[in-house]
Homo-oligomer: A and B are copies of this chain.
Amino acid sequence: MLDEIQLLYLLDLFGVGVFAISGALAAGRKSLDLLGVVIIAVVTAVGGGTTRDLLLDRHPVFWIADPLYLSVIIIAALLTIWYTRHKEPPQKFLLLADALGLAVFTITGAQITQTVVSNDVIIVIMAAITGTVGGLIRDVLSNEIPLIMQRDIYATAALAGATAYLLLQLTGWASSLVIILSMGIVIGLRLAAIQWNLHLPRFKLEE
């Protein structure tokens, strides 16, 4: 049976694969060349964890330390390109996978940060950075206002999940349960926001 570390590693690999798919699909709307699509997929998948590692001075950066991440990303991007030549991308599956990727990155980001930093606010912020910065860089490279700043409950779900993760640790429950519950909060908030079109109030200055 998998122990906790192996489970998280597998989830993390799943997370980079999912974000690579989301990056490749976003790039497909911009009419880039094949390598451009792969570049966007890589940046989307590793951007959050890389930013976290640089800010925390964790070296080697995770995908330099373990090149399997890059292999998963490149294969996922190429499969996405190949698949979408023949069929419509399954929107609902993608939204679910994206929510799962956000949940995985947020909670693994919180765990990794906890090994270096003790301040809870910093841990929550680093968790959200791990979960969201890849998508943010994807949007900047695609010359769009980053979705995380406009979209229904995206960074919010990451912040809530990371906060729940820290609070649930206080209960003394098994850490695998804490991980599953806090990932569930991210996924649940994200999917509820999509289903019922929930969003934070907008802030709009009159001009």
Report A's interface with B, CB cutoff 8 A.
Answer: 24-25, 27-37, 39-40, 50, 54-57, 59-61, 64, 67, 70-71, 81, 84, 89, 117, 119, 121-122, 125, 136, 140-146, 148-151, 155-156, 159, 199-205, 207
Contacts and interface: CB of A to CB of B under 8 A. Distances in A.
Contacts of A25: 205
A91 B59 CA distance: 42
Contacts of A89: 205
A121 B64 CA distance: 9
B200 A34 contact: yes
B67 A119 contact: yes
Contacts of A142: 145
Contacts of A39: 148-149, 155
Nearest to A113: B64
10 contacts: A31-B203, A33-B202, A33-B203, A34-B200, A34-B202, A35-B200, A54-B54, A57-B60, A67-B119, A140-B140
B121 A70 contact: yes
A27 B203 contact: yes
A126 to B, nearest CB: 8
